[in-house]
Structure 1
Amino acid sequence: MSQVPLPTVLLSRYFSYLKMNNWSTNTLSRRDYVLNKFISWSSERGIDTVTEITSDLLAAYRRWLYHYRNERTGKPLKFCTQASYLSTVAHWLGWLNEQGWIETDPSTNLELPKEEQRLPSSHLTIDEIEALLSSVDLTTPTGLRDRAILELLYATGMRRAELIALKLDDINHESGLAMIRQGKGRKDRVVPTGKRALQWLMKYLHDGRPALIAEDTQVIFLTTRGNAFHPVTLSQLVRSYLTASGITKPGSCHMLRHTTATLMLEGGADLRSIQTLLGHEQLNTTQIYTHVSIKRLREVHDKTHPGSKDRPPQSDPNKSDDKPTE
């Protein structure tokens, strides 16, 4: 085999390949971080070329990920994060093998850790949602903006990045629909805004947004500098309103997304509709909300389970003779 370029050079070629195949900017950014982390870790152990990467090295890397602890919090990496790191490295090694830079793929038999089946993060009750929405000061342009943001996140269940990317032309005021362009997986979808959210959005566009515009832009939600929001800034904004409302549940923008799905499911929405609204590619991603929504299960249980019927007991459970013996 001819002389192999440095890993960083091959990494650059790999990302050119991904870009040609229309991988999203966010995915490229995450993979760049993960792969540079792996290359740096390998270099610290004397691995300077991709031909030196072996299955034993990958097994050692997996052990390192398992034992890694965050320097600030002391917490380990979640198993889903470990699996993501390893699968990213494996994809790169598979590409290197396909391109002929390595003779065999050392990740072929790499076993990924089993991911946890976690419930979604906390969701808000209807009363908590109303308290959150009512906490906004509506006398300022930023207040009108913030009310519209909260209303739209709650009404549509859209992701934080999707709301940030909304343009003026993405809202159909007559039909009350919002076009989410290039959402996760680079897929477009149309979602209903709901009457109330649309009214607050219209009020913000008419009375609030003109005071925030610094230059010509089609972005709907603007900061005080007239720019689009940074994702972290938007999360901090939503979190500040949750705190002001006395809500201590962990979460921010994504908690409103969970709230939308959970309350709709409790209200009788079917999973397919929620899947379409949230933009989930697979239905099993949406099905996790069935573990959170207990209201309908309780109703069915009360209607169908013999033990839940309000029947006169055969014997009085409070009488000593009927109590179980110890």
Structure 2
Amino acid sequence: MHDELSGFLAYLRMEKRASELTTKSYEHDLVKFLHYIEQRWNISAAAVSYVHIREYLTELYAEELARTSVSRKLSSLRSFYTFLLREERIKENPLVLIHAPKQGKKLPSFFYEEELSLLFESVNTSTSLGKRNLALLELLYATGIRVGECVKLDVKDFDLYLETLLVKGKGGKERYVPVGSFAAEALTIYMNEARPLLKPADEALFVNYQGKRLTARGIQKMLNKLSTDASINSRMSPHVLRHTFATHMLNEGADLRTVQELLGHSDLAATQIYTHVTKDRLREVYRRSHPRA
């Protein structure tokens, strides 16, 4: 059992080039499943059938897990058994007839321009960390990059002359994204006036007060404080800023393919959710503005 799991995790790292976070997520789901079948039926992964999977799903639902959580665990199992089938450790995939639970449509949260203005105005740029915070906030909104991509940025990845950023995305894929004039100006001030005073230990673009590379947790903590200072009650996170970037781009007429490329989505379907947001926004404006709405 452990050999099967070890082989699958090695496959994720070596062949699929999955991130450590993704690999750990798969491992967590699969360890729980393997422990369950061992305790419940005393069988190995290779002996699992459709019936065992169905009963395991029943157990998950009994725990009152969200449908998204069940879908994720099911996705981990599907990938695991696809691997075992490829390696000829099983003859049939027990998940062939298993369907993922239907997901409710949950539209991504985003900020209106008025809320963002309050957020930008709340930044105190009289300190080195304040200049960093403004540059970070401007960059996240200007580019829509993921927080994991942001923390990996080095100084050399920002081209001031071309106002572009080299982003290292999922699966080792790289893309260039434009940086708006506001973000470029804030970045320039931070890099010239604030970053040297923070005594960076390496070439990381964004560093903390100790000069070490800023972490995703550090960014979230900073955004929480800014939202509190700006008296914004909505949930604040780097991903909400990413949603805001995409929504505002589409609201202003950007085409879906362009937004897909800027976000680094491999599948257009992942970008299409933002069209629902913009349609809702249009309906809201229409109902509020039209005399006979």
Match of 2:3 in 1: 9
* Contact 2:143-2:262 within 8 A present in 1 as well: yes
Give the partner amino acid of 1:14: F
For each residue in 1:134-171, what CA deviation from the matched residue of structure 2 results, as whole angstroms up to 9, or x when unmatched? 11111211111111110101111111111111111111
Structure 2 residue aligned with 1:164, among 136, 140, 151? 151
Match of 1:211 in 2: 197
Match of 2:184 in 1: 198
Matched, 1:51 2:36: no
Matched, 1:104 2:99: no
Change (3 A) 1:51 1:157: closer
Alpha-carbon distance, 1:125 to partner: 1.5
Change (3 A) 1:116 1:187: farther
Match of 2:258 in 1: 273
Distance 2:22 2:5 in 1: 15
| Count of aligned residue pairs for this structure pair | 291
1:301-320 alignment runs, 5 A limit: none
Give the partner amino acid of 1:92: F
* Contact 1:80-1:116 within 8 A present in 2 as well: no
Distance 1:244 1:300 in 2: 33
Higher helix share: 2
* Contact 1:153-1:257 within 8 A present in 2 as well: yes
TM value normalised by structure 2: 0.91
Q: Which moved more, 1:49-58 or 1:158-167?
A: 49-58
TM value normalised by structure 1: 0.82
Alpha-carbon distance, 1:296 to partner: 4.9
For each residue in 1:234-280, what CA deviation from the matched residue of structure 2 results, as whole angstroms up to 9, or x when unmatched? 21221221122111112311111111111222222222221121112
* Contact 1:160-1:254 within 8 A present in 2 as well: yes
Match of 1:113 in 2: 101
Percent sequence identity over aligned pairs: 31
Structure possessing the higher radius of gyration over alpha carbons:
1
Change (3 A) 1:298 1:240: closer
Alpha-carbon distance, 1:284 to partner: 2.3
Alpha-carbon distance, 1:301 to partner: 9.3
Matched, 1:84 2:72: yes
Matched, 1:250 2:235: yes
Distance 1:23 1:205 in 2: 32
RMSD of aligned Cα (Å): 2.3
Alpha-carbon distance, 1:67 to partner: 2.2
Give the partner amino acid of 2:97: N
Match of 2:208 in 1: 223
Matched, 1:20 2:22: no
* Contact 1:153-1:253 within 8 A present in 2 as well: yes
Match of 1:177 in 2: 164
Distance 1:44 1:59 in 2: 16
1:22-41 alignment runs, 5 A limit: 22-25=16-19, 26-41=21-36
Q: Which runs of 5+ in 1 are unaligned?
A: 1-6, 70-75, 309-326
Alpha-carbon distance, 1:209 to partner: 1.0
Match of 1:68 in 2: 63
Q: Which moved more, 1:241-250 or 1:275-284?
A: 275-284
* Contact 1:212-1:224 within 8 A present in 2 as well: yes
* Contact 1:47-1:53 within 8 A present in 2 as well: no
Distance 2:158 2:41 in 1: 55
Change (3 A) 1:299 1:250: closer
Alpha-carbon distance, 1:22 to partner: 3.6
Give the partner amino acid of 2:128: P
Distance 1:185 1:81 in 2: 23
Match of 1:322 in 2: none
Alpha-carbon distance, 1:201 to partner: 0.5
Distance 1:159 1:244 in 2: 24
Matched, 1:264 2:241: no
Q: Which runs of 5+ in 2 are unaligned?
A: none
For each residue in 1:194-245, what CA deviation from the matched residue of structure 2 results, as whole angstroms up to 9, or x when unmatched? 0110111111111111122352x11100112222222223212212211221
Alpha-carbon distance, 1:299 to partner: 7.6
Q: Which runs of 4+ in 1 moved over 3 A?
A: 294-303, 305-308
* Contact 1:214-1:226 within 8 A present in 2 as well: yes
Change (3 A) 1:102 1:250: same
Match of 1:323 in 2: none
Match of 2:136 in 1: 149
